Amino acid sequence: MRTTVGKSFRTPAKHAALNAHLGREAAALTHMNYWLKPVIWYDMSAGDAETQPDQQWSENCSAGIFARHARTIAGFEDRGAVFRDVQITLSEKARNTYDLLLVNLDLQLPQLGYERRSTTRWVFEGKQGHTVDLNVEMQDSAQMTFDGISRDQVVFLCIDPNNMTGVHINDQAHRNLFGENRRTTMFVTMGCNPGGLKMLPLEARENWFKVTEPLERRLANTHDIVIAAIDNDRARWGYLVVVPEGWRDKYTKSFVKQFLDNGFALKHASIRNQENEYEHIQRYLFLTNKENEQRNNTQQQRSNTQGELFNGFN
Protein backbone atom coordinates (compact mmCIF):
# COMPACT_ATOMS: atom_id res chain seq x y z
CA MET A 1 0.00 0.00 0.00
CA ARG A 2 1.21 3.45 -0.86
CA THR A 3 1.83 5.76 2.08
CA THR A 4 0.12 9.10 2.48
CA VAL A 5 1.89 11.60 0.30
CA GLY A 6 2.70 15.28 0.33
CA LYS A 7 3.83 15.75 3.93
CA SER A 8 7.59 16.40 3.71
CA PHE A 9 9.23 19.76 4.50
CA ARG A 10 9.83 20.25 0.75
CA THR A 11 6.12 19.98 -0.05
CA PRO A 12 5.14 23.67 0.43
CA ALA A 13 7.76 24.72 -2.15
CA LYS A 14 6.54 22.10 -4.62
CA HIS A 15 2.92 23.18 -4.21
CA ALA A 16 3.87 26.85 -4.57
CA ALA A 17 5.63 26.02 -7.86
CA LEU A 18 2.70 23.93 -9.12
CA ASN A 19 0.27 26.68 -8.10
CA ALA A 20 2.27 29.28 -10.06
CA HIS A 21 2.54 26.96 -13.07
CA LEU A 22 -1.19 26.27 -13.37
CA GLY A 23 -2.06 29.88 -12.57
CA ARG A 24 0.04 31.00 -15.54
CA GLU A 25 -1.51 28.38 -17.84
CA ALA A 26 -5.06 29.22 -16.80
CA ALA A 27 -4.56 32.96 -17.28
CA ALA A 28 -2.96 32.47 -20.70
CA LEU A 29 -5.76 30.21 -21.95
CA THR A 30 -8.45 32.80 -21.23
CA HIS A 31 -6.75 35.16 -23.69
CA MET A 32 -6.41 32.74 -26.61
CA ASN A 33 -9.23 32.55 -29.15
CA TYR A 34 -8.01 29.29 -30.69
CA TRP A 35 -7.48 25.73 -29.38
CA LEU A 36 -11.17 25.71 -28.47
CA LYS A 37 -11.33 22.01 -27.68
CA PRO A 38 -11.55 21.12 -23.98
CA VAL A 39 -8.42 21.62 -21.93
CA ILE A 40 -7.29 18.34 -20.37
CA TRP A 41 -5.46 18.15 -17.03
CA TYR A 42 -4.23 14.89 -15.52
CA ASP A 43 -2.95 14.32 -11.99
CA MET A 44 -1.37 10.89 -12.32
CA SER A 45 -0.56 10.45 -8.62
CA ALA A 46 -3.25 12.44 -6.86
CA GLY A 47 -2.67 11.15 -3.34
CA ASP A 48 -5.26 11.76 -0.63
CA ALA A 49 -5.80 15.56 -0.96
CA GLU A 50 -5.28 15.87 2.79
CA THR A 51 -4.00 19.18 4.17
CA GLN A 52 -3.31 20.55 7.63
CA PRO A 53 -6.14 22.44 9.39
CA ASP A 54 -4.28 25.76 9.10
CA GLN A 55 -3.60 25.35 5.36
CA GLN A 56 -5.74 26.58 2.49
CA TRP A 57 -6.82 23.43 0.68
CA SER A 58 -6.83 25.00 -2.79
CA GLU A 59 -3.15 25.94 -2.48
CA ASN A 60 -1.68 23.01 -0.56
CA CYS A 61 -2.56 19.84 -2.45
CA SER A 62 -2.52 19.07 -6.15
CA ALA A 63 -6.26 18.29 -6.33
CA GLY A 64 -7.11 21.64 -4.76
CA ILE A 65 -4.69 23.53 -7.01
CA PHE A 66 -6.16 21.83 -10.11
CA ALA A 67 -9.74 22.55 -9.06
CA ARG A 68 -9.03 26.18 -8.21
CA HIS A 69 -7.28 27.20 -11.43
CA ALA A 70 -9.51 25.19 -13.77
CA ARG A 71 -12.41 27.44 -12.76
CA THR A 72 -10.58 30.41 -14.32
CA ILE A 73 -10.51 28.68 -17.71
CA ALA A 74 -14.24 27.85 -17.56
CA GLY A 75 -15.19 31.39 -16.55
CA PHE A 76 -15.07 31.81 -12.78
CA GLU A 77 -14.29 35.51 -13.23
CA ASP A 78 -14.74 37.98 -16.08
CA ARG A 79 -10.99 38.59 -16.42
CA GLY A 80 -10.64 36.76 -19.73
CA ALA A 81 -12.23 37.15 -23.11
CA VAL A 82 -12.30 33.42 -23.96
CA PHE A 83 -13.58 30.55 -21.85
CA ARG A 84 -13.56 26.84 -22.56
CA ASP A 85 -14.34 23.48 -20.97
CA VAL A 86 -11.83 21.71 -18.75
CA GLN A 87 -11.60 17.98 -18.10
CA ILE A 88 -9.68 16.98 -14.96
CA THR A 89 -8.72 13.39 -14.16
CA LEU A 90 -7.31 12.57 -10.72
CA SER A 91 -5.67 9.15 -10.74
CA GLU A 92 -4.71 7.16 -7.64
CA LYS A 93 -3.83 3.47 -7.54
CA ALA A 94 -3.82 2.66 -3.79
CA ARG A 95 -7.28 1.74 -2.47
CA ASN A 96 -6.96 3.35 0.97
CA THR A 97 -5.51 6.54 -0.48
CA TYR A 98 -8.17 6.61 -3.19
CA ASP A 99 -10.96 6.26 -0.61
CA LEU A 100 -9.55 9.12 1.47
CA LEU A 101 -9.19 11.22 -1.69
CA LEU A 102 -12.92 10.87 -2.37
CA VAL A 103 -13.75 11.87 1.22
CA ASN A 104 -11.59 14.99 1.07
CA LEU A 105 -12.92 16.02 -2.33
CA ASP A 106 -16.48 15.73 -1.05
CA LEU A 107 -15.58 18.00 1.86
CA GLN A 108 -13.62 20.60 -0.07
CA LEU A 109 -14.89 20.89 -3.66
CA PRO A 110 -18.31 22.36 -2.76
CA GLN A 111 -16.45 25.29 -1.17
CA LEU A 112 -14.99 26.03 -4.62
CA GLY A 113 -18.38 25.87 -6.29
CA TYR A 114 -18.30 22.26 -7.50
CA GLU A 115 -21.39 20.06 -7.40
CA ARG A 116 -21.15 16.31 -6.92
CA ARG A 117 -22.78 14.44 -9.82
CA SER A 118 -21.77 10.88 -8.91
CA THR A 119 -19.51 8.98 -6.50
CA THR A 120 -16.41 9.97 -8.47
CA ARG A 121 -17.45 13.06 -10.45
CA TRP A 122 -17.82 16.75 -9.62
CA VAL A 123 -18.76 19.61 -11.98
CA PHE A 124 -18.16 23.35 -11.79
CA GLU A 125 -20.44 25.45 -13.98
CA GLY A 126 -18.69 28.51 -15.38
CA LYS A 127 -19.77 31.13 -17.89
CA GLN A 128 -21.24 30.80 -21.39
CA GLY A 129 -22.16 27.18 -20.68
CA HIS A 130 -18.57 26.07 -20.01
CA THR A 131 -17.77 23.62 -17.23
CA VAL A 132 -14.98 21.94 -15.32
CA ASP A 133 -15.64 18.20 -15.27
CA LEU A 134 -13.54 16.58 -12.51
CA ASN A 135 -13.34 12.78 -12.37
CA VAL A 136 -11.49 10.44 -10.03
CA GLU A 137 -10.17 7.08 -11.16
CA MET A 138 -8.50 4.28 -9.24
CA GLN A 139 -5.86 3.09 -11.63
CA ASP A 140 -2.13 2.68 -12.07
CA SER A 141 -1.07 5.71 -14.10
CA ALA A 142 1.76 3.64 -15.63
CA GLN A 143 -0.93 1.90 -17.70
CA MET A 144 -2.52 5.11 -19.02
CA THR A 145 -2.09 5.55 -22.79
CA PHE A 146 -4.04 8.81 -23.40
CA ASP A 147 -5.66 7.54 -26.57
CA GLY A 148 -8.09 9.94 -28.21
CA ILE A 149 -6.18 13.15 -27.48
CA SER A 150 -5.93 15.24 -30.64
CA ARG A 151 -2.94 17.32 -31.65
CA ASP A 152 -4.72 20.61 -31.09
CA GLN A 153 -5.73 19.92 -27.49
CA VAL A 154 -3.97 21.58 -24.58
CA VAL A 155 -2.88 18.95 -22.05
CA PHE A 156 -1.19 19.29 -18.66
CA LEU A 157 0.30 16.32 -16.86
CA CYS A 158 1.36 16.20 -13.20
CA ILE A 159 3.37 13.22 -11.93
CA ASP A 160 4.19 13.45 -8.23
CA PRO A 161 4.95 10.02 -6.70
CA ASN A 162 6.72 9.22 -3.44
CA ASN A 163 10.02 8.68 -5.26
CA MET A 164 11.55 8.21 -8.70
CA THR A 165 10.50 4.55 -8.97
CA GLY A 166 6.91 5.80 -9.28
CA VAL A 167 7.56 7.95 -12.36
CA HIS A 168 6.24 6.05 -15.36
CA ILE A 169 5.12 7.09 -18.83
CA ASN A 170 4.65 4.23 -21.26
CA ASP A 171 5.65 4.49 -24.90
CA GLN A 172 2.08 4.78 -26.19
CA ALA A 173 1.49 7.69 -23.81
CA HIS A 174 4.67 9.39 -25.02
CA ARG A 175 3.49 9.11 -28.63
CA ASN A 176 0.02 10.47 -27.82
CA LEU A 177 1.18 13.35 -25.63
CA PHE A 178 4.40 14.59 -27.16
CA GLY A 179 5.81 15.26 -30.60
CA GLU A 180 5.32 17.71 -33.45
CA ASN A 181 2.51 20.22 -32.88
CA ARG A 182 1.62 18.72 -29.50
CA ARG A 183 0.69 21.20 -26.79
CA THR A 184 1.42 19.13 -23.69
CA THR A 185 3.03 20.70 -20.65
CA MET A 186 4.19 18.70 -17.65
CA PHE A 187 5.30 18.91 -14.02
CA VAL A 188 7.21 15.92 -12.59
CA THR A 189 8.77 15.43 -9.16
CA MET A 190 11.73 13.07 -8.96
CA GLY A 191 12.78 11.83 -5.53
CA CYS A 192 16.02 10.05 -6.38
CA ASN A 193 17.41 9.16 -2.96
CA PRO A 194 14.68 9.29 -0.26
CA GLY A 195 15.27 6.42 2.14
CA GLY A 196 18.61 5.71 0.46
CA LEU A 197 17.01 4.83 -2.89
CA LYS A 198 20.36 5.19 -4.67
CA MET A 199 21.38 1.92 -3.03
CA LEU A 200 19.39 0.31 -5.84
CA PRO A 201 21.71 -1.34 -8.37
CA LEU A 202 22.92 0.91 -11.18
CA GLU A 203 21.04 -1.28 -13.67
CA ALA A 204 17.77 -0.33 -11.96
CA ARG A 205 18.59 3.37 -11.84
CA GLU A 206 19.65 3.38 -15.48
CA ASN A 207 15.94 2.88 -16.22
CA TRP A 208 15.29 6.37 -14.83
CA PHE A 209 17.00 7.81 -17.90
CA LYS A 210 14.47 5.88 -20.01
CA VAL A 211 11.70 8.00 -18.46
CA THR A 212 13.17 11.23 -19.80
CA GLU A 213 14.83 10.06 -23.04
CA PRO A 214 11.60 9.57 -25.07
CA LEU A 215 10.38 12.95 -23.86
CA GLU A 216 13.62 14.62 -24.97
CA ARG A 217 13.44 12.84 -28.34
CA ARG A 218 9.80 13.74 -29.05
CA LEU A 219 9.81 17.27 -27.64
CA ALA A 220 7.79 19.65 -29.81
CA ASN A 221 9.89 22.40 -31.41
CA THR A 222 7.72 24.99 -29.61
CA HIS A 223 8.54 23.62 -26.14
CA ASP A 224 11.48 23.19 -23.80
CA ILE A 225 12.36 20.97 -20.83
CA VAL A 226 13.73 22.46 -17.62
CA ILE A 227 15.35 20.21 -15.03
CA ALA A 228 16.02 21.40 -11.48
CA ALA A 229 17.51 19.93 -8.33
CA ILE A 230 17.54 21.14 -4.74
CA ASP A 231 21.07 22.09 -3.70
CA ASN A 232 22.70 19.95 -1.01
CA ASP A 233 19.66 17.70 -0.61
CA ARG A 234 20.65 14.23 0.59
CA ALA A 235 17.32 12.87 -0.69
CA ARG A 236 18.21 14.23 -4.15
CA TRP A 237 14.80 15.70 -5.02
CA GLY A 238 14.58 16.99 -8.55
CA TYR A 239 11.91 18.44 -10.81
CA LEU A 240 11.27 18.18 -14.54
CA VAL A 241 8.92 20.58 -16.30
CA VAL A 242 7.86 20.95 -19.93
CA VAL A 243 6.76 24.45 -20.90
CA PRO A 244 6.35 26.50 -24.09
CA GLU A 245 9.76 27.83 -25.07
CA GLY A 246 8.42 31.38 -25.00
CA TRP A 247 7.51 30.96 -21.32
CA ARG A 248 10.73 29.28 -20.30
CA ASP A 249 12.67 32.20 -18.84
CA LYS A 250 9.75 33.71 -16.91
CA TYR A 251 8.63 30.28 -15.78
CA THR A 252 12.10 29.29 -14.57
CA LYS A 253 12.46 32.57 -12.69
CA SER A 254 9.11 31.98 -10.98
CA PHE A 255 9.94 28.34 -10.23
CA VAL A 256 13.24 29.26 -8.60
CA LYS A 257 11.55 32.02 -6.59
CA GLN A 258 8.90 29.66 -5.16
CA PHE A 259 11.63 27.40 -3.82
CA LEU A 260 13.80 30.26 -2.55
CA ASP A 261 10.81 31.70 -0.70
CA ASN A 262 10.55 28.35 1.08
CA GLY A 263 14.25 28.13 1.91
CA PHE A 264 15.58 26.00 -0.97
CA ALA A 265 18.14 26.96 -3.59
CA LEU A 266 17.93 25.23 -6.95
CA LYS A 267 20.37 24.33 -9.68
CA HIS A 268 18.56 24.27 -13.03
CA ALA A 269 19.03 24.12 -16.79
CA SER A 270 17.00 23.82 -19.97
CA ILE A 271 17.74 21.18 -22.58
CA ARG A 272 17.62 23.66 -25.47
CA ASN A 273 19.85 26.37 -24.00
CA GLN A 274 22.09 24.48 -21.56
CA GLU A 275 22.26 20.89 -22.72
CA ASN A 276 25.55 20.07 -20.96
CA GLU A 277 24.33 21.47 -17.63
CA TYR A 278 20.99 19.70 -18.13
CA GLU A 279 22.81 16.36 -18.48
CA HIS A 280 25.03 17.20 -15.49
CA ILE A 281 22.00 17.79 -13.24
CA GLN A 282 20.34 14.63 -14.52
CA ARG A 283 23.42 12.55 -13.66
CA TYR A 284 23.66 14.28 -10.26
CA LEU A 285 20.12 13.13 -9.52
CA PHE A 286 20.21 9.62 -10.95
CA LEU A 287 23.77 8.47 -10.20
CA THR A 288 25.92 8.26 -7.10
CA ASN A 289 28.93 10.56 -6.67
CA LYS A 290 31.27 7.65 -7.40
CA GLU A 291 29.39 6.70 -10.58
CA ASN A 292 29.49 10.31 -11.73
CA GLU A 293 33.23 10.48 -11.12
CA GLN A 294 33.79 7.27 -13.08
CA ARG A 295 31.74 8.57 -16.01
CA ASN A 296 33.58 11.88 -16.01
CA ASN A 297 36.94 10.06 -16.02
CA THR A 298 35.81 7.84 -18.91
CA GLN A 299 34.67 10.86 -20.92
CA GLN A 300 37.95 12.65 -20.23
CA GLN A 301 39.95 9.61 -21.37
CA ARG A 302 37.93 9.44 -24.60
CA SER A 303 38.48 13.15 -25.18
CA ASN A 304 42.24 12.78 -24.62
CA THR A 305 42.38 9.80 -27.01
CA GLN A 306 40.53 11.73 -29.72
CA GLY A 307 42.90 14.67 -29.23
CA GLU A 308 45.94 12.42 -29.62
CA LEU A 309 44.48 10.89 -32.79
CA PHE A 310 43.81 14.33 -34.23
CA ASN A 311 47.32 15.51 -33.41
CA GLY A 312 48.71 12.45 -35.12
CA PHE A 313 47.35 13.66 -38.45
CA ASN A 314 49.07 17.07 -38.12
Q: How far apart are CA 210 and CA 13, in angstroms?
A: 27
Judged against a pLDDT cut of 90, whether residue 236 lies above it is answered with yes
Burial, 203: exposed, middle or buried (Cβ in 10 Å; 0-12, 13-18, 19+)?
exposed
**Percentage of the chain with pLDDT > 70?**
90
Q: How far apart are CA 54 and CA 90, in angstroms?
A: 24
Backbone angles phi, psi at 126, to 5 degrees: -95, -140
Task: Check the CA dihedral 52-53-54-55 and report its sign.
Answer: positive
Judged against a pLDDT cut of 80, whether residue 166 lies above it is answered with yes
CA 34, distance to chain mean position in Å, is: 24
pLDDT band at 4 (very low <50, low <70, confident <90, very high): very low
Judged against a pLDDT cut of 60, whether residue 82 lies above it is answered with yes
pLDDT band at 301 (very low <50, low <70, confident <90, very high): low
| Sheet with 121-125: strands ordered across | 115-118, 121-125, 131-138, 86-92, 39-43, 154-159, 183-191, 237-244, 223-230, 266-270
pLDDT band at 70 (very low <50, low <70, confident <90, very high): very high
pLDDT in tens, 91-112: 999 999 999 999 999 999 999 9
Supply the pLDDT for residue 297.
Answer: 75
Hey, what domains does the chain have and what are their CATH numbers? 11-312 (3.40.50)
